[in-house]
A and B are shown apart, each in its own frame.
Chain A
C-alpha cells in the first residue's frame, strides 16, 4: 500500500503557513521578541522616571533588566511549584 504523506493525513493542519509553524516551535526567539516588544512600553516609563541624566539606551537596557528579573522570578516560582521537572 502506498504510504500516506503528512498532508494527506491531516488536511486541516496543512492550512498552517510554514512561518507560523516555525514560530510556534522556536520558543527562544519568540520570548526575546516579546521581551523587546514589551520593553518598548516599559523603557519610556523608566526614562520618564529618571532626572534627565540618563541616556535613552540606559533606560532601554534597564527596562530589559527588569523584564529579565521578572522572568527569573517566574522561573523560580515554577521550580517551587513543579520541582520534579528540574
Chain B
C-alpha cells in the first residue's frame, strides 16, 4: 500500500464526507452510459395525482338534459345515421297520432292512443341517445375547463429586437417571440429556455409540488409549459406555440369534442351500423305485401316500431359517448393526447419499447458491495471509494458513501484544498484530487484501466473477473483506483421496480410484447431483462437503434408504442404508432409524439395501453350486446303482428297483445340506452387476459347476456304495461 495513502485517509470520527460544499461545482457522477441528469419524478401513489386538475361536474346533468333537446336539430341528428332513422320514424308516428288513417285505412281500437305512445317512446329513445352524448361531452367540457383554468391570460414581457421590453397579453404572443419572466410570473405560453436558470412550479399541470429546475441547452430541462409559475430567478424564453395551438389548447379542443374527428375504428363501426340499418329498412319496407298476403295487415306505426326495435339503437346512441369518455379517461390520467386516433391505436399496440432506466428500474442505482482486487482489503477499497465520492452528490455517489461508512471507513479531507472531478461522458469517471496531489477515481472499468495505465500502474485479470461477475448479477461495475493502483470494483445494483414483473406478465397475457432498451453492456442487460420479465432487450443501444427496433417491429405489421424525452428520441417517437413524450422533455420530443405525459412518468405508457384496450373492448362489448338484443325483440314483435299466420308458438314470452308487445319492446329499447350510459362512460372493467380469453368472456357476458336479458326485461315491462292498461 502506498505510504501517502494512510497520511491522506486518516481514520477519524464524525466526518461528514458527503456534505456539499460551496467551493466546488456540484458533481454529477452517475450513469456510465448516460449523461442525462435524473428526471424529477412525481411522488406518491398515482391515484392521488391522476385527477389533477380537478374536474367540476356540478350541474352536469342539468346541462346535459338541456343539450339533449338542443341536439334534436336535424343537421346535428344527420351525424348519427341510426338515430336519424329513429328520428324520422318519430315524425311519421307523430303524424299518425294526429290521423291514424293517414297512410291508408287501419283497423283497431284506440289507434291515436297507441300511436301516441309509440311517438313518445321513440322520441325519448332519441333524447336518451342525445343525453348519453351530452353527458360525455359535458364531462369533457368540465375537463377542458379544468385544463383551461391552468392557463389564464397573463401579461407577458415581450423582448423587442432593440432590447426593450413591451408588456402585452399572453394571447398575443406568437411562435418565435422572445419573452422574459422573473420570479413570481406565470409563464405566458409553451416555450424553450434561451437564457437563465430558474426553478419553476409545474404543480398546476402535473400536480407535483416540488419545483423543477429549468436551464437552457439541457435535454430535459429547457422546455417550459404555459400556465406554470416561475419561483426564483429569471428566464428568457422563446415561444414555441402560436396562441391557441399549445398542447393544452389541443387537448381542450379534443376533450370538448369540438374538433373530434371520427377515429378509423368509429368509422368502421358507423359503416356496420348503417349497413345493418339499411338491411332492416329493406326488410321492414318489403314486409307489408307479405303481411297482406297472409291476411295480417300491419300498420305503418307498427312497422316503424319493428324497424326501430331491430336496428342497433343501443350502440348507435352510445357510440360517440364511448369515444368521448375514452378521451376523458386519458385526460384524467394527466396525459395529453393530440388525437383520438392515438388513444385508439394504444388499444391495438403489439409491442412496447421501453427505456430501462426510470421505466423498468428505479432511476437510481445503489452501491451494494465492494469487491477488492490486487490483494487490497475491504477496508482499503471502502476508503478509496469514499475519497472518490466525497464531492459526488448523485444518489449513486451518496450510496457509495453510505456503504463505505457502514463498513467503518471514514476520510478526513480538507475540502477547501481538495478538488472534485466531474463525471463526463468523455472521461466516463469522476473522483477527487486530494490536497497532496493524489488522484482518487471511480468509473467505468475501461476508463479506469486507461487512467491507471496513464499513471504507469498495472492492470490485473482479477478486475475483469470481478467486472464479469457483477455484470452477470445484473449490476453496473465501477472500478476504483488511487493514482496508478486499482483497488477493486463497486457493485452498483440496479433495482427493478417492484411489481413491474407482474405488469409485464399482464401485458404478455394481453398479447403485448415488451422490448427493453438500455445503454448497459449485454450481460447486465440480459440479467435485468430476465429479472424484470421483458420479452426482449437491446443492449448498448443508441438512439438510432430505437428507430431500427421500431421499424423492424412495424415491418412485421405490428403496432409499436414507446416513450421518450430527449431531442434524439424525437425521430423514434414520430416513427412509433404511439409516441408518448414526457412533459419534462424537449419541445422537439413533444412535437414528434402524439401524446404528452404531464407527470413525466414513463411507466404510464402501460396504463395508456390499458385505457386504449378498454375503449375498444367497451365499444365491442356494447355492439355485441346491442345486436344480441335483436333476437328477443324479434321474438316479441313478429309473432304478435302475424297472428293469422299462426305464429303463436313463437310467442315464447307469452306477451299479452300486439300493442303491449310492441310497446314493451320499444320501452326496453329506449330504457336500455340510459341504463348503459354509466358503462359507456366508465368503460368495461379491464382484465389482463389474452385476446381470445377476453373475446370468449365478452361474448358470453354481452352476447349471451344480451340475448337473454331482453327476454326477461320485455316480459316484465309487458306485465307492467298490461297492468296499467296502456295496451
Contacts from A to B (Cβ < 8 Å): 50, 53-54, 57-58, 61-62, 65, 68-69, 72-73, 75-77, 79-80, 83-84, 86
How many Å lie between the Cα of A58 and that of B103 in the bound state?
5
Task: Flag if B285 contacts A69 (CB, 8 Å).
Answer: yes
**Which A residues are in CB contact (< 8 Å) with B78?**
75, 86
**Which A residues are in CB contact (< 8 Å) with B271?**
79-80, 83
**What are 9 A-B interface contacts by the 8 Å CB criterion?**
A54-B105, A57-B102, A58-B102, A62-B104, A68-B88, A75-B78, A79-B270, A80-B275, A86-B80
Name the residue on A nearest B88 (C-beta): A72
In the assembled complex, the CB of A55 is this many whole angstroms from the nearest CB of chain B, namely 8
Number of A-B contacts (CB under 8 A): 60
Task: Flag if A75 contacts B81 (CB, 8 Å).
Answer: yes
**Which A residues are in CB contact (< 8 Å) with B101?**
58
How many Å lie between the Cα of A62 and that of B99 in the bound state?
13
Name the residue on A nearest B278 (C-beta): A76
Task: Flag if B103 contacts A62 (CB, 8 Å).
Answer: yes
How many Å lie between the Cα of A58 and that of B101 in the bound state?
7
Task: Flag if B81 contacts A86 (CB, 8 Å).
Answer: yes
How many Å lie between the Cα of A77 and that of B279 in the bound state?
11
**8 closest Cβ contacts across the A-B interface?**
A79-B274, A76-B278, A79-B81, A83-B267, A83-B270, A80-B274, A83-B271, A62-B103
A83-B88 contact in complex given A58-B101, A76-B281, C-beta closer than 8 Å: no
Task: Flag if B105 contacts A58 (CB, 8 Å).
Answer: yes
In the complex, whether B63 has a CB less than 8 A from a CB of chain A is no
**Which A residues are in CB contact (< 8 Å) with B88?**
68, 72
How many Å lie between the Cα of A84 and that of B271 in the bound state?
10
How many Å lie between the Cα of A79 and that of B79 in the bound state?
9
How many Å lie between the Cα of A76 and that of B312 in the bound state?
14
Task: Flag if B274 contacts A83 (CB, 8 Å).
Answer: yes
In the complex, whether B635 has a CB less than 8 A from a CB of chain A is no
In the assembled complex, the CB of B54 is this many whole angstroms from the nearest CB of chain A, namely 35
Name the residue on B nearest A58 (C-beta): B104
How many Å lie between the Cα of A69 and that of B303 in the bound state?
12
How many Å lie between the Cα of A61 and that of B92 in the bound state?
11
How many Å lie between the Cα of A27 and that of B88 in the bound state?
18
**Which B residues are in CB contact (< 8 Å) with A68?**
88, 92
Residues 68-116 of B contacting A (Cβ, < 8 Å): 78-81, 84-85, 88, 92, 101-105
In the complex, whether B388 has a CB less than 8 A from a CB of chain A is no
In the assembled complex, the CB of A68 is this many whole angstroms from the nearest CB of chain B, namely 7
Task: Flag if B274 contacts A53 (CB, 8 Å).
Answer: no
**Which B residues are in CB contact (< 8 Å) with A65?**
92, 103, 300
Task: Flag if A86 contacts B104 (CB, 8 Å).
Answer: no
Name the residue on B nearest A80 (C-beta): B274
**Which B residues are in CB contact (< 8 Å) with A57?**
102
**Which A residues are in CB contact (< 8 Å) with B267?**
83-84
In the assembled complex, the CB of B12 is this many whole angstroms from the nearest CB of chain A, namely 77
Contacts from B to A (Cβ < 8 Å): 78-81, 84-85, 88, 92, 101-105, 261-262, 267-268, 270-271, 274-275, 277-278, 281-282, 285, 300
Task: Flag if A73 contacts B103 (CB, 8 Å).
Answer: no
Task: Flag if B274 contacts A61 (CB, 8 Å).
Answer: no
Task: Flag if A76 contacts B300 (CB, 8 Å).
Answer: no
**Which A residues are in CB contact (< 8 Å) with B268?**
83
Task: Flag if B278 contacts A73 (CB, 8 Å).
Answer: yes
Task: Flag if B262 contacts A83 (CB, 8 Å).
Answer: yes
Give the secondary structure class of A's interface: helix
**Which B residues are in CB contact (< 8 Å) with A54?**
104-105
A75-B81, A76-B281, A86-B81 known; 6 new pairs, CB 8 Å cut-off, are A57-B102, A58-B101, A62-B103, A75-B84, A76-B278, A80-B275
| Listed residue (B81, B103, B278, B281) with the most chain A CB atoms within 10 angstroms of its CB | B103
Name the residue on A nearest B279 (C-beta): A76
In the assembled complex, the CB of A48 is this many whole angstroms from the nearest CB of chain B, namely 14
Name the residue on A nearest B85 (C-beta): A72
How many Å lie between the Cα of A54 and that of B102 in the bound state?
10
How many Å lie between the Cα of A58 and that of B78 in the bound state?
28
A69-B274 contact in complex given A58-B102, A62-B103, A79-B81, C-beta closer than 8 Å: no
How many Å lie between the Cα of A53 and that of B300 in the bound state?
17
Name the residue on B nearest A64 (C-beta): B103
In the assembled complex, the CB of B660 is this many whole angstroms from the nearest CB of chain A, namely 26
In the assembled complex, the CB of A8 is this many whole angstroms from the nearest CB of chain B, namely 35
In the assembled complex, the CB of A11 is this many whole angstroms from the nearest CB of chain B, namely 35
**Which B residues are in CB contact (< 8 Å) with A50?**
104
**Which A residues are in CB contact (< 8 Å) with B270?**
79, 83, 86
**Which B residues are in CB contact (< 8 Å) with A73?**
278, 281-282
**Which A residues are in CB contact (< 8 Å) with B92?**
65, 68
How many Å lie between the Cα of A73 and that of B79 in the bound state?
15
A69-B281 contact in complex given A79-B274, A84-B262, C-beta closer than 8 Å: yes
How many Å lie between the Cα of A53 and that of B271 in the bound state?
42
**Which B residues are in CB contact (< 8 Å) with A77?**
278
Name the residue on A nearest B92 (C-beta): A65
How many Å lie between the Cα of A53 and that of B282 in the bound state?
27
Name the residue on B nearest A77 (C-beta): B278
- Which residue from B84, B105, B281 sits with its C-beta under 8 Å from A53? B105
Name the residue on A nearest B285 (C-beta): A69
**Which A residues are in CB contact (< 8 Å) with B103?**
58, 61-62, 65
In the assembled complex, the CB of A27 is this many whole angstroms from the nearest CB of chain B, namely 11
**Which B residues are in CB contact (< 8 Å) with A72?**
85, 88, 281
**Which B residues are in CB contact (< 8 Å) with A86?**
78-81, 262, 270
**Which A residues are in CB contact (< 8 Å) with B85?**
72, 76
Name the residue on B nearest A62 (C-beta): B103
In the assembled complex, the CB of A61 is this many whole angstroms from the nearest CB of chain B, namely 5
How many Å lie between the Cα of A75 and that of B85 in the bound state?
10
How many Å lie between the Cα of A54 and that of B285 in the bound state?
20
| Listed residue (A68, A79, A80, A84) with the most chain B CB atoms within 10 angstroms of its CB | A79
In the assembled complex, the CB of B287 is this many whole angstroms from the nearest CB of chain A, namely 12
Name the residue on B nearest A59 (C-beta): B104
**Which A residues are in CB contact (< 8 Å) with B80?**
86
In the assembled complex, the CB of A49 is this many whole angstroms from the nearest CB of chain B, namely 11
**Which B residues are in CB contact (< 8 Å) with A62?**
103-104
How many Å lie between the Cα of A28 and that of B156 in the bound state?
50
Task: Flag if A76 contacts B102 (CB, 8 Å).
Answer: no
How many Å lie between the Cα of A83 and that of B103 in the bound state?
33
In the assembled complex, the CB of B99 is this many whole angstroms from the nearest CB of chain A, namely 9
How many Å lie between the Cα of A23 and that of B285 in the bound state?
33
How many Å lie between the Cα of A77 and that of B277 in the bound state?
10
**Which A residues are in CB contact (< 8 Å) with B105?**
53-54, 58
A76-B81 contact in complex given A83-B262, A83-B271, A86-B270, C-beta closer than 8 Å: yes
How many Å lie between the Cα of A73 and that of B105 in the bound state?
26
A76-B277 contact in complex given A83-B262, A86-B81, C-beta closer than 8 Å: yes
How many Å lie between the Cα of A76 and that of B281 in the bound state?
10
How many Å lie between the Cα of A13 and that of B88 in the bound state?
38
How many Å lie between the Cα of A84 and that of B78 in the bound state?
13
**Which A residues are in CB contact (< 8 Å) with B282?**
73
